[in-house]
Amino acid sequence: MPSAQFFESVLESLSAGIVTVDADGCIRYVDDTFCDAVNTDSETLRDADLFDALVPAHSRADAREAFRERLESDSSDPEDPSVDEQPIVIGGASAAGERRSHLLVWESTIQSAEQRFVVGRLDGATNGALQSDAAADPYRALVENAPVPILVSDETGHLRELNDKAEQLTGRSRSELIGEKITTLHPGDESDRYEEVFERHLEVGGTLRYRPDGEQIHVVDADGDTVPVEISVAAVEAPDDAPTDETLIHGIFRDISDQVWYEQTLEELHENARDLVRAETDVEIAESIVETAVETINRDFVAVYLFDPDDERLHPIAHSDGVPEAFGDLLPLSLGESIIGEAYLTSESVRLADARTDECIQSSDTPIRSVLVAPIDGFGAIVCGHTSVDEFEVTDQRLLELLSRNAEAVFARTEREQEMRRQRRELEAQTETLQQIEQLNADIREIVRIAITADTRAELEQKACELFSTTDPFTFAWVGSLSPERDELVPEAWAGQDQGYLDTDAFTLDETVAEPAVRTARTVETTVVQNTATDIQHQPWRRDAVRRGFRSAVAIPLQYQGVLYGVLTVFASERGAVSEWTTAVLEECGELLGCMMSMMEWEDAVLSEQGQKLDFEIRSQSCPLIRIALEHQCSVSFDGLHQKESGETTVFVRLLAGSAERVVQTAVESTGITSIRQLGDGGDHVLFQVTFSDPFIATILAKHGIRLQQIVGEDETNARIRVTTPSTMPVHRAVDIVSATYPDAELLAVTEPEDPPVVSEHSSGSILDGLTDRQRETIELAYYGGYFESPKGLSGTELAAKMDISSSSFHNRLRAAQRHLLSSLLDGRSADTGR
């Protein structure tokens, strides 16, 4: 049998934090680990009173009482509750002088030949019972009751002794093992390798866990199951006074099953973390978390909740298969009304032994008993549930927290990547849009050039279509105008890959027709279609467009000052090709084209001396002349109009019927009229020179080439006006122009010209533009005042008085104006005829 000195040496190698006291509480043995824990050397502690030396004064009485009860109980049952229920707290000083406490738990009572001893330790584990035939040497008793398995062999490897823990580890008794080779404890097919390992380990010393090939060291128990262990081996030579010189080898075997499981679980978590990294969406990440928790932590009921900042609730994103059957459908949770919300808010894990008794649950019939929640900081929480009580341990919590940290990193990474992808898409879209805008801006410049160089409206429309049909992303463009009956849109120009689209009957201005150009013609607003295939079964025009590869479209009104001149429609071969920027630029192009078309019609009106005469009935009194005509039921005709650079407009108005005095008095009091001057002494056809500060009906219509001829006040509410339109302007266009200014206007009659239109060789506007304001005022006043008639209407002196200037000044201005007009006419004729 091993000697007492051998057992003492074994004790010294245990480092388990062990102390032995006699029945009086006097310390008989203490190891280095215990001394380090209480920060006191062994010399001071040996033979000292345990309670006086280590236990704080305020608790010594209770500690002695607990010690006495433990001694008197003399229990050898490892399940004796008194072992765990009667600990003693002993205090020691740290290196920094701080007080710290240690829990001392009684292990067992040892009966030696002379007296009884009590063994205590610091780690709180419950040891096996002491054998009834324990040796008289207390050191041997301590070894046999050590908290770890100890096996003793001779130099040949045959077992000579083992303690209780060794029997528990191997599942075999002393009688079965003593005399056997120690390699019989390990897998039989590897006994030679284990023997080599032990020989090398004995030479090197220390703690051994793995074989040289990296495999874990195992012990095989009585049932054939392998148990992972960590082994410390040391040789103890016999002392000089020993009867033999035998050398014994003791091995301390530690069962590390829990540690190995924990390490393997960690490794699985790390492997699953790689799967987590590959997930790209929140749902994929949540599903991967659930799968990892089920496989790695071995929990059947797992769910992942994510926080939605919009409704401030936690929403279930993924769960294990058994959750719906066991707990029903998971619902969103408010932050302040659930332990999951509490864990999320505090960023601290929650572990409940029994959910039914927890005040946060407030439900006695919930099927969930054990609950474990680990927050995913900033994102949500992982929840594990079980229908049994107290199913989750500290290791489960630590593993779930590790999984939650991995999840947090993946969610954060995914969030960053999604944000980067979103920014990249926005940047790409902006870049593409900017490129398109730059191209469209270039097209606008080209449209301006085309408008300047185009001789006719048809040429302007055709070149615009050719330009836009070749502008990315568009492939086809066309311009349509309203028919004279205003019941359909008529194609005027087109370019690109139309493939017969304009041959379809899709352009009737019917409320049921939703074709983009038709909608724009009806509403005079831009129409954008991002996907022509939407509702394709119910809208024929969409089928026609899709058959020709048109995937998106935009229709722009070509208008100027509220008048619609046509509709420009462009089609693209890609869906969603019409951006806001593209639409905005095209609308600018539409305004520009509308303005150009208006100018062309105005030029036609200037060059055309005859056109249709239209009579309208107007009730609006926004124009001061119409107000005067309505108030006095008078009739006036317009002889001439001149717009000055200052913004004022001078017109010559002839009163055909009515009182001149009343007209002058009302005009003086009217807003919008700066001055009124009567030319002549009266009569039926009194001539007035009227200056307006604001635009009025005549100036507004003149911008479109329409000349106001007459205003007749028929009664106090209705006035009739007559206008002359350019020969090239359709009636509906003139109606649109008048209605844009006076919405209540009603067309009464249309009178065709008696003679064919005559185009003037010269534009009176361009000739008169060369005169100064004073020269033009002088010659117009002389002309309309009858100065050039015979007999004269007004003399030069009378006209000078009207202008409040001297007679000589009047004649000087008149001669200068006549000289300019003659020069323009004669020089222009010579240039044209080559004379």
Q: Concatenated DSSP letters for 32-66?
A: HHHHHHHT--HHHHTTSBHHHHHS-GGGHHHHHHH
Peptide bond into 473 cis (omega under 30): yes
Between strands 746-751 and 673-679, the pairing is unpaired
The yes-or-no verdict on residue 542 having pLDDT over 80 is yes
Strand ranges across the sheet with 635-643: 673-679, 686-692, 649-657, 635-643, 707-713, 719-724, 613-618, 746-751
The answer to whether the CB of 493 falls within 8 A of the CB of 477 is no
Could you tell me the CA-to-CA distances from 190 to 204, 215, 223 in Å, in that order?
21, 11, 18
The residues, any chain, with a CB within 8 Å of residue 649's CB and separated by 6 or more, are: 641, 642, 643, 691, 692, 695, 696, 698, 699
216/563 Cα distance (integer angstroms): 91
How confident is the model at residue 555, as a pLDDT? 95
796/803 Cα distance (integer angstroms): 10
How confident is the model at residue 516, as a pLDDT? 93
- Residue found under tokens 């649109």: 736
The residues, any chain, with a CB within 8 Å of residue 744's CB and separated by 6 or more, are: 618, 619, 620
The answer to whether the CB of 33 falls within 8 A of the CB of 17 is yes
Identify the sign of the CA torsion 194, 199, 202, 205: negative
The yes-or-no verdict on residue 552 having pLDDT over 90 is yes
How confident is the model at residue 517, as a pLDDT? 92
How confident is the model at residue 434, as a pLDDT? 77
User: SS3 sequence, 368-408?
Assistant: CCEEEEEEECCCEEEEEEECCCCCCCHHHHHHHHHHHHHHH
CA atoms within a 13 Å half-sphere pointing along the CA-CB vector of 794: 27
How confident is the model at residue 763, as a pLDDT? 47
How confident is the model at residue 371, as a pLDDT? 87
Res. 794 pLDDT band, cuts 50 70 90 = confident
The answer to whether the CB of 260 falls within 8 A of the CB of 216 is yes
How confident is the model at residue 519, as a pLDDT? 92
Res. 831 pLDDT band, cuts 50 70 90 = very low
Segment 392-445, tens digit of pLDDT = 888 788 888 888 888 888 888 888 888 888 888 888 877 877 776 777 677 777
712/560 Cα distance (integer angstroms): 29
432/592 Cα distance (integer angstroms): 24
Long-range pairs for 671-674: beta carbons < 8 A, 24 or more residues apart: 671/624, 672/624, 672/696, 673/624, 674/648
The yes-or-no verdict on residue 530 having pLDDT over 90 is yes
How confident is the model at residue 239, as a pLDDT? 57
Of 96-105, 126-135, 218-227, the least confident = 126-135
Of 352-361, 553-562, 631-640, the least confident = 352-361
- Phi, psi torsion values for 727, nearest 5 degrees: -65, -25
The residues, any chain, with a CB within 8 Å of residue 756's CB and separated by 6 or more, are: 610
Res. 238 pLDDT band, cuts 50 70 90 = low
87 closest CA partner among 72, 111, 112, 70: 70
213/193 Cα distance (integer angstroms): 10
The yes-or-no verdict on residue 493 having pLDDT over 60 is yes
Between strands 707-713 and 552-560, the pairing is unpaired
Q: pLDDT: is 553 or 652 the higher one?
A: 553
* Most confident of the ranges 17-21, 354-358, 582-586, 755-759: 582-586
What is the pLDDT averaged over residues 125-147? 47
The yes-or-no verdict on residue 833 having pLDDT over 60 is no
The answer to whether the CB of 670 falls within 8 A of the CB of 692 is no
Q: What is the mean pLDDT of the chain?
A: 76
570 closest CA partner among 546, 588, 551: 551
Segment 360-385, tens digit of pLDDT = 554 556 677 888 899 998 899 999 88
What is the pLDDT averaged over residues 313-317? 89
110/118 Cα distance (integer angstroms): 6
How confident is the model at residue 35, as a pLDDT? 80
What is the pLDDT averaged over residues 75-94? 47
Tell me how crowded residue 205 is: count the other CB atoms within 10 A of its CB.
11
The residues, any chain, with a CB within 8 Å of residue 142's CB and separated by 6 or more, are: 7, 11, 18, 20, 29, 110, 119
- 251 sits in the region (left: phi over 0; alpha: psi -120 to 50; else beta) called beta
What is the pLDDT averaged over residues 141-161? 76
The yes-or-no verdict on residue 560 having pLDDT over 80 is yes
The yes-or-no verdict on residue 527 having pLDDT over 80 is yes
Is the overall model pTM greater than 0.85, yes or no?
no
What is the pLDDT averaged over residues 452-472? 85
How confident is the model at residue 602, as a pLDDT? 67
User: SS3 sequence, 155-204?
Assistant: CCCEEEEECHHHHHHHCCCHHHHCCCEHHHHCCHHHHHHHHHHHHHHHHH
Res. 529 pLDDT band, cuts 50 70 90 = very high
Amino acid at 94: S
The yes-or-no verdict on residue 132 having pLDDT over 80 is no
Give the max Cα distance, the chain: 170
The residues, any chain, with a CB within 8 Å of residue 370's CB and separated by 6 or more, are: 352, 353, 354, 355, 385, 386, 388, 389, 390, 391, 392
Segment 737-746, tens digit of pLDDT = 888 888 888 8
The answer to whether the CB of 305 falls within 8 A of the CB of 314 is yes
Res. 80 pLDDT band, cuts 50 70 90 = very low
Q: pLDDT: is 388 or 529 the higher one?
A: 529
Segment 617-664, tens digit of pLDDT = 888 777 888 888 888 888 888 877 777 666 788 888 888 887 788 888
Of 437-441, 573-577, 707-711, the least confident = 437-441
How confident is the model at residue 121, as a pLDDT? 53
The yes-or-no verdict on residue 77 having pLDDT over 70 is no
The yes-or-no verdict on residue 68 having pLDDT over 70 is yes
Q: Residue 821 has what DSSP assignment? A: H
How confident is the model at residue 532, as a pLDDT? 92
Quickly list H helices, 761-806: 764-768, 773-784, 796-803
**Percent helix / strand / coil, the chain, rounded to 5:** 40, 25, 35
How confident is the model at residue 553, as a pLDDT? 95
In a 3-state reduction of DSSP, which class is residue 697?
A: helix
Res. 99 pLDDT band, cuts 50 70 90 = very low
The yes-or-no verdict on residue 607 having pLDDT over 90 is no
The yes-or-no verdict on residue 116 having pLDDT over 90 is no
Res. 827 pLDDT band, cuts 50 70 90 = low
The yes-or-no verdict on residue 54 having pLDDT over 70 is yes
The yes-or-no verdict on residue 271 having pLDDT over 70 is no
The yes-or-no verdict on residue 79 having pLDDT over 50 is no
